[in-house]
């Protein structure tokens, strides 16, 4: 009988199979490494793109914040200007007030009666003056009461005084403004 030694063929086949397995394992490892490296590169590119997007978004946010700050400043300035314009319009409405009232007082004052002091608050008026007689003071008070601009006319003081050797009557009168009762003067305070 013939004996065939198959061991070298088997050993060669085993060796060839081992080499094939090592090559396949190497190829798989290299393929996996290439896949991992390519995924890492893709993710790195995505991260850098996202970082640049975040940076540009932050820059845009900072620009918008600056614009919002300017808008808020403009709104504040607009409110201040509006308040100042309101004050100016209120002052324009009332600018004739004291001057007009002084003109009325001048028209109502009889001859030989002189006003020496005029004081006005929101609705109260206090006037002081000198007259030759108490009759002139009474006549002046009746004219004030008949006026549409004044009400609640009261004589506070009437006393005799001497001016340059002449005996005169010194008086103080208080009254209310008719227009201030119907429309009080309101002046808003504007802070800088």
User: pLDDT tens for residues 133-166?
Assistant: 888 888 888 888 888 777 788 888 888 888 788 8
Q: How far apart, in whole angstroms, are the C-alpha atoms of residue 130 and residue 134?
A: 10
Whole-number pLDDT of residue 134: 86
Q: What is the pLDDT of residue 5?
A: 62
- N- to C-terminal Cα separation, the chain: 124
CA angle 7, 8, 14 (to 5 degrees): 90
Question: Any idea where the domains of the chain sit in the sequence?
Answer: 10-95, 96-182
| Average confidence score pLDDT of the chain | 82
Global confidence as pTM: 0.43
Q: What is the pLDDT of residues 4-31, one digit of tens each?
A: 665 666 777 888 888 999 999 999 999 9
Q: What is 96-182's CATH number? A: 3.30.1360.100
Task: Give the model confidence (pLDDT) of 50-86 as tens digits.
Answer: 999 999 999 999 999 998 988 899 999 999 999 988 8
């Amino acid at each position: 009988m013939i004996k065939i030694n198959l061991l070298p063929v088997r050993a060669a086949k085993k060796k060839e199979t081992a080499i094939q397995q090592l090559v396949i394992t190497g190829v798989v490892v290299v393929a996996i490494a290439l896949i991992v490296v390519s995924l890492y590169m893709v993710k790195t590119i995505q991260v850098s793109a996202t970082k640049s997007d975040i940076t540009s978004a932050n820059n845009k946010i900072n620009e918008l914040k600056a614009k919002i700050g300017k808008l808020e400043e403009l709104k504040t300035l607009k409110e201040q200007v509006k308040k100042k314009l309101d004050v100016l319009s209120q002052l324009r409405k009332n600018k004739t007030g004291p001057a007009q009232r002084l003109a009325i007082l001048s028209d109502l004052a009889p001859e030989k009666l002189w006003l020496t002091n005029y004081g006005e608050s929101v609705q109260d008026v206090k006037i002081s003056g000198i007259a030759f007689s108490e009759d002139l003071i009474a006549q002046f008070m009746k004219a004030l009461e008949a006026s549409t601009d004044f009400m609640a006319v009261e004589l506070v003081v009437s006393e005799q005084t001497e001016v340059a050797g002449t005996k005169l009557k010194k008086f103080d009168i208080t009254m209310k403004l008719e227009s201030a009762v119907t429309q009080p003067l309101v002046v808003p305070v504007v802070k800088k």
